[in-house]
Structure 1
């Protein structure tokens, strides 16, 4: 009986470590090339207001009265272009996709480190609020 419990626990541990490894490798290839701490963080050209104007409130979310913040991890390259967007915490109703699409359409000022433009990861909240 103890051997069966041991084998079961070992199987769970192995499966869990495989899932973590799969998840970690799917975040973004070459993720380590993107800096988190920089002298000047990337910002949307025209300000966050210009980014919010690109967000389309999904009809499904409006009907379901979905409100809240979608937290995104945005990968900005040295040119200020968005390479990738990952939803860190979503609210559903199509809002996650709408937020990611708006960010993908946005040009950023690149992150700066020592006066040099660098690839940067930045967290951006996108707020969905019904009037």
Structure 2
């Protein structure tokens, strides 16, 4: 199992963010919410143990969102500051998967952690985007 605790800062995307924009559009994010996501210049994700579970805190130019969870249990969450949903977090050998449902279809954010960083693969209905983060703590 991965050592999940840590803080990660988003690195600039290789494709200028085009794949992530397409992923957000597939999720149904549009208008002002999509524009706001595309304007983000700073994003960090932090995993902290909170006793019997975990807290994932995302901090960006748009604000801060936190979700506390236990592996395998449904929890209310807000995804990308735009989508209120229910998520299930599952631990795997190198990180965490976050599955959530939109319009009856499952989306997944797979977070793969290393000693130096984290790679997320966001996937929904045939669209995907890869985002890379640098570990800062």
Q: Into which bin does the TM-score normalised by the smaller protein fall? A: under 0.3
Whose helix fraction is larger, Structure 1's or Structure 2's? Answer: 1
What TM-score does the superposition give when structure 2 sets the normalisation length?
Answer: 0.26
- State the structure with more CA Rg: 1
Structure scoring higher RCO (CA < 8 A, sep ≥ 6) equals 1
What TM-score does the superposition give when structure 1 sets the normalisation length?
Answer: 0.27
Whose strand fraction is larger, Structure 1's or Structure 2's? Answer: 2
